[in-house]
């Protein structure tokens, strides 16, 4: 398969600009692309599709790629099929997945990305790259038709992965506890991707990129830390 996919934990690092830390990588990832289709459905903070697309347009202008929002097209299906490159931004995963099902785009998006159209996801846009959205951190502000997502990788992601806070007196669940709860009813592995990390999925190779380790959770196994540049092909 010709997959060319980047799934990033976050769009923005603390003290950094939007997509700033990723631009050198994206410049190579999207080489030969003049235009990019942006999917703004996750609407972080409830901003409009136009506002969100305009923010993305400014970032990609720096690497000379022109951005159009999927909401600007009459047929979102054709927009996906004819795109040179596709980016799904972060926000609320429930809203994003609801909209993708509403417009019947899950199948067509998967097919197009597996066919080789380069894809970038950040946060919620990375979540949908996994098998299901069961391990999102987001608030369930709407009920999607299904939690099944694109399955570009044979496991799930937990973006913005957070380690337990030492000495916390808060009795809510830690991220690790939540993922372990998921594993009481599912055997899909989950990769906790810390901010600043991303997965590079080229063909059948899945490589962890960035400076940090990522935490891999498997049902009935102790979690392990994966080092940068390690591949996760063994999960296939």
Residues 6+ apart with CB under 8 A from 78: none
Our answer to whether residue 170 is catalytic in this structure is: no
Of 199, 233, 203, whose CA–CA distance to 115 is shortest?
203
Order of all β-strands in the sheet with 35-39: 66-69, 35-39, 86-88, 119-122, 4-8, 198-202, 205-209
β-bridge mates for residue 232, sequence order: none
Q: Which is nearer to its own copies, 45 or 74 (CB)?
A: 45
Q: Binding of its own copies at residue 61 (CB under 8 A)?
A: no
Instruction: Tell me, by CB under 8 A, how many residues bind its own copies.
Output: 45
Are the beta carbons of 155 and 124 closer than 8 angstroms? no
Q: Binding of its own copies at residue 229 (CB under 8 A)?
A: no
CB of 183 to its own copies, least distance (A): 8
Candidate residues 68, 110, 178, 209; the one interacting with its own copies per rule CB under 8 A: 178
Q: Which is nearer to its own copies, 73 or 147 (CB)?
A: 147
Candidate residues 58, 142, 205, 229; the one interacting with its own copies per rule CB under 8 A: 142
Number of Cβ atoms within 10 Å of the Cβ of 169: 5
Which spans of this chain sit near its own copies (rule: CB under 8 A)? 10, 12-15, 43-46, 91-92, 94-95, 133-144, 146-147, 160, 162, 169-173, 177-186, 195
The catalytic residues are: 123, 138, 160
């Amino acid at each position: 398969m010709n997959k060319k996919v980047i799934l990033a934990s976050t769009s923005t690092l603390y003290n950094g600009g939007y997509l700033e830390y990723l631009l050198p990588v994206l410049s190579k990832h999207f080489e030969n692309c003049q235009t990019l289709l942006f999917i703004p459905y996750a609407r972080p903070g409830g901003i409009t599709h136009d506002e969100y697309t305009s923010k993305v347009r400014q970032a990609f202008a720096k690497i000379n790629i022109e951005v159009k929002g999927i909401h600007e097209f009459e047929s979102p299906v054709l927009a996906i099929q004819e795109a040179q490159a596709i980016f799904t931004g972060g926000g609320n995963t429930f809203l994003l997945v609801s909209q993708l099902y509403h417009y019947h785009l899950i199948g067509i998006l998967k097919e197009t990305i597996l066919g080789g159209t380069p894809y970038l996801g950040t946060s919620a846009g990375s979540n949908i790259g996994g098998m299901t959205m069961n391990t999102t951190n987001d608030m369930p502000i709407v009920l999607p038709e299904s939690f099944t997502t694109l399955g570009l990788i044979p496991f799930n992601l937990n973006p913005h992965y957070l380690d337990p806070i030492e000495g916390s007196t808060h009795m809510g669940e830690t991220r690790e506890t939540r993922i372990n709860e998921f594993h009481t009813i599912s055997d899909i592995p989950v990769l906790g991707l810390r901010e600043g990390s991303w997965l590079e999925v080229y063909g059948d190779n899945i490589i962890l990129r960035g400076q940090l380790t990522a935490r891999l959770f498997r049902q009935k196994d102790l979690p392990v830390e994966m080092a940068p540049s390690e591949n996760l092909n063994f999960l296939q």
